[in-house]
Amino acid sequence: MYVLSRVADSVYWLNRYVERAESYARLIETYWQLSVENPELTGPLWPALLETTADTSVLQEASERLSQETTIAFLAFDRQNPNSILSCLLAARENARSIREKISKDMWETIHELYTQVLQQAESRKSPSDIPDIAFFRQLRRSCQAFYGISDSTLSHDETYFFALLGRSLERADKTTRILDLQSYMLTGEEQSGDTGLILSFAVLRATSAHEMFSQAYPRVSAENILDFLLLSRTFPRAVTACLLQIEYALRSLALEQKGFFINKAHKKVKQLLLELRHTDVSRLVGDQLNAYLDNLQMRLNEIGDEITRTYFVSSS
């Protein structure tokens, strides 16, 4: 079976946009909860989150008179922000619409309903600072996760599925590195001591939905253990290594009968990065080196995405 590049591109980006929306809903939920429990600790987080997720030109206009409420509204509902949850779900729905013949009815209905719910919430706001309560973002996060369960159980695990897996896993790896980068001061700064350090460390784990699985794997919460888990775990779905293994699996599955250690340039970059991660000493990252390391990791993931696009989505004509 051969999937047209148009279909492959759409299903890939459908999953990237849903994963992006889920990540932002989870970040908003985490920081909101932290601001309720420990408001004195969240000051640097909201501006940093804007800088990490928003388009720079839009950000400059939105940065005036920022409050927690207007920041959440900008990240969730602003149509001028191409990375807002509403914008991501609109893009996801349009990609799903273009390939309705290739996805299941349940997948289409789920993404359509999810977008409609967020749109209705956005249109019901009475002022720029009018936002729903935290339960809205918790339900939004769960709805995005439900979409993946529906996708896995109603979509044939053929080429279309593997392109979906590529998009989901690459976006997930990218967001894990960005969350670590965004919250690196929690792991490397003076805050890493006493009760404050413990609170901030748990915030990093909650922002990656990793708290429970981390607690099963490590007897103690520390910056080194958190980095080890979120960068190097082969079994936790949001760990960078686990995501890269999923990408490698999808690329090999798409290659069918093609043999060789490196299938294509994208696969070569994935294998090289996996090898480097295997030899990473996370104890050396707890300090000033962490930001530079994460920046390089994000660049490498972007290069993998570029190679996937050149290999599968760009027409040779």
Q: How far apart are CA 8 and CA 59, in angstroms?
A: 32
The residue length of the chain stands at 317
Decide if pLDDT at 2 tops 60: no
Q: pTM for the whole thing?
A: 0.92
pLDDT at position 286, please? Answer: 80
pLDDT at position 18, please? Answer: 98
Q: What angle do CA 297, 298, 300 make, to 5 degrees?
A: 65
Report, as an integer, the average pLDDT of 21-26.
Answer: 96
Decide if pLDDT at 312 tops 70: yes
Lowest mean pLDDT segment, chosen from 111-125, 246-260, 264-278 = 246-260
Residue 115 neighbours by CB under 8 Å, 6+ apart: 86, 89, 90, 92, 93
Cβ atoms within 10 Å of 179's Cβ, excluding its own: 23
Q: How far apart are CA 205 and CA 298, in angstroms?
A: 19
Cβ atoms within 10 Å of 119's Cβ, excluding its own: 16
Tokens of 44: 């640097």
Better-scored residue on pLDDT, 90 or 202: 90
Alpha carbon separation from 56 to 47, 50, 196, 269 (Å, rounded): 12, 9, 31, 29
Structural domain boundaries in the chain: 1-155, 157-317
pLDDT at position 317, please? Answer: 35
Cβ atoms within 10 Å of 231's Cβ, excluding its own: 22
| DSSP code for 282 | G
Report, as an integer, the average pLDDT of 47-56.
Answer: 70
Lowest mean pLDDT segment, chosen from 220-229, 231-240, 267-276 = 220-229
Decide if pLDDT at 293 tops 90: yes
Query: Predicted confidence band at 261 (pLDDT cuts at 50, 70, 90)?
Result: low
Lowest mean pLDDT segment, chosen from 36-40, 50-54, 146-150, 214-218 = 50-54
Report, as an integer, the average pLDDT of 64-73.
Answer: 78
Residue 102 neighbours by CB under 8 Å, 6+ apart: 3, 7, 11, 160
pLDDT at position 67, please? Answer: 78
Q: How far apart are CA 289 and CA 273, in angstroms?
A: 18
With left for phi above 0 and alpha for psi between -120 and 50, is residue 194 left, alpha or beta? left
Decide if pLDDT at 190 tops 60: no
Q: Are 160 and 7 in contact (CB under 8 A)?
A: yes
Tokens of 313: 């989505």
Decide if pLDDT at 4 tops 80: no
pLDDT at position 231, please? Answer: 97
> What is the widest separation between alpha-carbon atoms in the chain?
61
pLDDT at position 64, please? Answer: 56
Tokens of 215: 């607690």
Q: How far apart are CA 81 and CA 54, in angstroms?
A: 6
Better-scored residue on pLDDT, 38 or 51: 38
By CB atoms closer than 10 A (0-12, 13-18, 19+), residue 163 is: buried
The dihedral of CA 266, 251, 306, 182: what is its sign? negative
